[in-house]
Amino acid sequence: MKNRRVRALWIGTAVLAGLVGAALVFATKTSRVMLFQHGTPEVPGNRAFAIMNPFRYRRPEEVAVELMADLRTSRCDQILRHLHSEDTRICTVLRQDTNPKLIWREDEDFKRNLVYDLPRSKSRLWITSSREEGGFVVSSVSLVR
């Protein structure tokens, strides 16, 4: 009886390892940034999530995280003016909501659109960056409530 349980455990572990291995092989072979996406990023407050490709190029996300950190400082208004955004709610919302989650990403040739869910304020922060000679630079930021 005990041998059957051990054998079943080994078989289950082998099947799980095979599935994980297959998923990793699929992720390395595909150029897709999001492997699975549920929900829509346009509607704040609704459930939306994405399973991101672990092998994606993350520099646009790093730039977005740096921007969000800068927008939590006293220079927020100045940064928004530089980005031609007059939505001062962004500063207040980001100071309150310190745990944004990337729920959607769209890559174009020279542009990246990232959408972060801000659950506390039931908002979505849209950050667009473009590729320039020095790397990715944020070109716009907006808040949808």
**Average pLDDT of the chain?**
89
pLDDT of residue 13: 93
The pTM of the full predicted model, rounded to 2 decimals, is: 0.80
Q: What is the pLDDT of residues 83-99, one digit of tens each?
A: 999 898 999 999 999 89
| Complete domains list, the chain, with CATH | 56-144 (3.10.450)
pLDDT per position as a tens digit, 27-86: 666 678 998 898 888 877 678 889 999 999 999 999 999 999 999 999 999 999 999 998
- Report pLDDT for 145: 85
pLDDT of residue 5: 87
HEC string for the chain: CHHHHHHHHHHHHHHHHHHHHHHHHHHHHCCCCEEEEECCCCCCCCCCEEEECCCCCCHHHHHHHHHHHHHCCCCHHHHHHHCCCCCCHHHHHHHHCCCCEEEEEEECCCEEEEEEEECCCCEEEEEEEEEECCEEEEEEEEEEC
| 119 has pLDDT over 80 | yes
